[in-house]
Amino acid sequence: MKPKPISKNQNWLLFTAFVGANLLQSSITKWCLMDDILSKLGVKN
């Protein structure tokens, strides 16, 4: 039997790694890019 892949598209795994890296960076620097983007779009805290 052939093992099933985790994801059919490897881009989802790269996206998950990118999000994880951003979470790590945010925890170290106390700055979050998504917070800036959402505030510019008008989303309130």
Averaged pLDDT, 25-30: 94
**Does residue 4 sit within a domain?**
no
Instruction: Determine the Cα angle at 43 with ends 24 and 41, to 5°.
Output: 90
**Does residue 34 sit within a domain?**
yes
**Does residue 23 sit within a domain?**
yes
**Does residue 2 sit within a domain?**
no
Task: Answer whether 7's CB lies under 8 Å from 13's CB.
Answer: yes
pTM beyond 0.95: the answer is: no
pLDDT at 3: 67
Instruction: Tell me the residue range of the domain where 24 lies.
Output: 10-40
**Does residue 21 sit within a domain?**
yes
Structurally, how many domains does the chain consist of?
A: 1
Angle separating helix axes 10-29 and 33-40, nearest 10 degrees: 90
- The Cα–Cα gap between 15 and 8 comes to 13
pLDDT at 5: 65
